[in-house]
């Protein structure tokens, strides 16, 4: 099959394309003919070799975790799925495999894509939707009526986080650049801050900060918290609370528990999916480069041609 793959770590330039063998499926696995893949900053970091301690990979490595497609074959132990089913899911980062024409994955890790949802929409969801919910509600403990500050609200995770926090009844304050402020408002932000021209650190009495930026942004986020408030950081590992305020790193392990909820919200018209751009599989490197800029608005996707 055709796949984008790396033989060495580096910038997105190292992503090549060519023929890669499809792994033989085990009894509990399915082979999915991929229709679309979502591109995440995680893929950029793995390709760069930054995450070898956490998510070790072997060469040749096919990047990509988020995918959607059609089941081609099922293992002999799989009874609830069959060839022809439309599914989506997320593979483990060390396994990757989504920037390709086929993926072999445990049947338990895929979920049905409804007719009304396109393959592109489905591939946009696993990491972004799941991370947003895990960070806001499991790590952050966000409650109705609380004030949440969401950084990078126009990014892949951010557009999901704004919507999830809003529908949970939180007061949502969102940072984005000028061009994306209206989008973020339309997704449910009550207050928007242009991070390039306004200083968010003047805010006070925030219950939760969702930090997708780290560094100076994280540092300037502590004073905005009320005593007892907390920061959930997607990018800084091992953070700890200080001065009566909590801090915790988010480690998104599996999208599987969130897929049904994503479908449910989408089908009831309560979930918007924002697409930055769509690249053919042959241009996976350009897709990775786009994400590596750190300035995608919503999701960068790969449309796989079979």
Per CB under 6 A, residues contacting ligand NAP are: 40-42, 127, 131, 151-152, 154-158, 175-177, 180, 195, 212-213, 217, 234-235, 250-252, 291, 294-297
CB of 156 to ligand NAP, least distance (A): 3
CB 77, min distance to ligand NAP, A: 30
In the complex with ligand NAP, the residue whose CB is nearer, 20 or 162, is: 162
Tell me which residue has its CB nearest to ligand NAP: 155
Pair of tokens at residue 98: 């989504």
Q: How far is the CB of 80 from ligand NAP (least distance, A)?
A: 28
Find all residues with CB under 8 Å of 200, minimum gap 6, and list them: 149, 151, 173, 175, 193, 220, 221, 224
Among residues 40 and 265, whose Cβ is nearest to ligand NAP?
40
Cβ–Cβ under 8 Å, residues 97 and 33: no
Residues constituting the chain:
306
Please give the distance of CA 192 from its chain centroid, rounded to a whole number.
22
Peptide bond before residue 60 is cis, with ω within 30 degrees of 0 = yes
User: Residue 118 or residue 177: which is nearer to ligand NAP going by CB?
Assistant: 177
CB of residue 196 vs ligand NAP: minimum separation in angstroms?
Answer: 7
State the number of CA atoms in the 13 A half-sphere of 11 facing the CB: 6
Question: In a 10 Å sphere around its CB, with 0-12 CB exposed, 13-18 middle and 19+ buried, how is residue 241 labelled?
Answer: middle
Match 């049904």 to its residue by tokens: 260
Nearer to ligand NAP, 107 or 192 (CB): 192
| Residue 124 C-beta: closest distance to ligand NAP, Å | 10
Task: Rank residues 202 and 267 by Cβ distance to ligand NAP and give the closer one.
Answer: 202
Would you say 157 or 302 has its CB closer to ligand NAP? Answer: 157
Work out how close the CB of 32 gets to ligand NAP at its nearest, in angstroms, rounded to a whole number. Answer: 22
Sign of torsion, CA 150 154 157 162? positive
């Amino acid at each position: 099959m055709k796949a984008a793959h790396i033989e060495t770590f580096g910038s997105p330039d190292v992503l090549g394309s060519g023929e890669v063998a499809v792994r033989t499926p085990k009894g509990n696995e399915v082979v999915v003919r991929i229709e679309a893949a979502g591109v995440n900053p995680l893929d950029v970091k793995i390709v760069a070799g930054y995450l070898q301690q956490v998510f070790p990979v072997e060469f040749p490595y096919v990047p990509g975790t988020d995918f959607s497609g059609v089941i081609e074959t099922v293992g002999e132990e799989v009874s609830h799925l069959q060839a022809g089913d439309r599914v989506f899911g997320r593979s483990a980062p060390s396994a990757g495999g989504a920037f390709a024409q086929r993926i072999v994955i445990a049947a338990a890790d895929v979920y049905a894509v409804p007719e009304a949802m396109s393959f592109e929409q489905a591939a946009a969801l696993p990491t972004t939707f799941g991370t947003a919910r895990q960070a806001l509600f499991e790590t952050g403990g966000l409650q109705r009526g609380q004030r949440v500050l969401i950084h990078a609200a126009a990014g892949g995770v951010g557009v999901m986080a704004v919507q999830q926090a809003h529908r949970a009844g939180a007061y949502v304050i969102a940072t984005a650049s000028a061009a994306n402020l209206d989008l973020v408002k339309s997704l449910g932000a009550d207050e928007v801050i242009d991070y390039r021209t306004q200083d968010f650190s003047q805010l006070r009495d925030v219950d939760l900060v969702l930090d997708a930026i780290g560094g100076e942004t994280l540092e300037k986020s502590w004073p905005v918290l009320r005593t007892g408030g907390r920061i959930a950081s997607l990018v800084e590992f091992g953070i700890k609370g200080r001065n009566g305020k909590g801090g915790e790193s988010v480690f998104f392990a599996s999208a599987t528990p969130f897929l049904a909820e994503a479908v449910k919200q989408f089908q009831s018209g309560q979930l918007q999916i924002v697409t930055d751009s769509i690249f053919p599989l042959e241009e996976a490197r350009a897709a990775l480069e786009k994400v590596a800029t750190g300035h995608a608005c919503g999701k960068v996707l790969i449309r796989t041609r079979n």
